[in-house]
Amino acid sequence: MALSGNAAYVGGDFLTIGGALNGATQSGRYAAIIASNGLPGAPTDVQATPGDGSATVSWTAPTTIGGSAITGYRIDIAPGPAYTSWSTAVADTGVPSPLSYQVPGLTNGQKYMARVAAINSTGAGAVSLPSSWFAAVATSVNPAVPADLLGVAGNGKIDASWTAVTSFGAGATSIVRYRAFAFTATGTMIRSCDSYNGGQPSPPSSCSLTGLTNGQSYTIKVRSFNNLSRYSDVSPAAGPYTPVAGG
């Protein structure tokens, strides 16, 4: 057992440590407070929702507040794969609620865990069990790839349709154009068609690929463009479709 500040801790491998003076029970390979002088108990149910270079950490307030009201929370993070080098990411949220806070300054793609401690006038209480691991992710500036691409073969053409895109990309406010493509059996792009918004909130989710050879098979793909002139990857291929005379 070791003393730290106003609290005594015991650590190691155990299933359950109970009977803590702050009323908390913690499970796992973590320290448990067994004596406290007015400090809050440990928050529970810590979760993290990753963002771009950040994560929003949320938790449930401790059931025991200690000798005075909770005034804020401290948030610690530890990078993977070891998750043992804990550092303070937010020293004090400064408010007892809401029970969530955005932690900035994370590296996209790096895995982390988070833990939380409640703060009252005496100091910071017991730390929570850590969250599951999470990784910050870069927000795409490109619009989403159109989905559900279908083609209907006609006379020298293929009518392409798809589901409208609703994820425009970071900073964008709309989709202004779609472009569909026709490919030969050897993978050569042979024709394309565009669907513009024409002043409408969004462009039609269809266009006709014309000038194709009847009796020859084609696959089709589509991509979207947003109002910032950024575009998505092309969709997976649909088809093959074979135009026919009189179709």
Angle at 79 between CA 73 and CA 81, to 5 degrees: 140
* Assigned CATH for 147-241: 2.60.40.10
> In 3D, which of 47, 102, 113 has the Cα closest to residue 78?
113
96 upstream amide cis, omega within 30 of 0: no
pLDDT at 95: 94
In 3-state terms, the chain is what percent helix, strand and coil (to 5)? 0, 45, 55
> Cβ contacts of residue 140 below 8 Å, gap of 6+?
169, 170
pLDDT tens track for 115-167: 999 999 999 999 999 999 999 887 788 999 999 999 999 999 999 999 999 98
Mean pLDDT of 52-69: 93
- pLDDT of 211 higher than 90: yes
pLDDT at 4: 39
Percent of the chain with pLDDT over 90: 74
pTM for this predicted structure: 0.53
- Annotated domain spans of the chain: 40-135, 147-241
- pLDDT of 100 higher than 90: yes
pLDDT category at 246 given cuts 50, 70, 90 is confident
State how far the Cα of 88 lies from the Cα of 47, in Å rounded to an integer: 17
pLDDT at 182: 98
> What is the residue-averaged pLDDT of the chain?
86
What is the residue-wise DSSP string for 87-139?
Answer: EEEES--SSS-SSEEEE--PPTT-EEEEEEEEE-SS-EEEEPPPPPPEE--PP
Q: Tell me the two tokens of residue 2.
A: 């070791």
Mean pLDDT of 88-93: 97
pLDDT at 17: 38
147-241 matches 40-135 in CATH topology: yes
- pLDDT of 107 higher than 60: yes
User: By the 8 A CB rule, do 88 and 110 touch?
Assistant: no
pLDDT at 9: 39
Architecture of 40-135 per CATH? Sandwich (2.60)
Mean pLDDT of 46-59: 93
pLDDT tens track for 7-40: 433 333 333 334 333 444 443 333 344 334 799 9
pLDDT at 34: 33
Helix, strand or coil for residue 74? strand
pLDDT at 247: 67
Mean pLDDT of 202-218: 96
pLDDT tens track for 164-179: 999 898 889 999 999 9
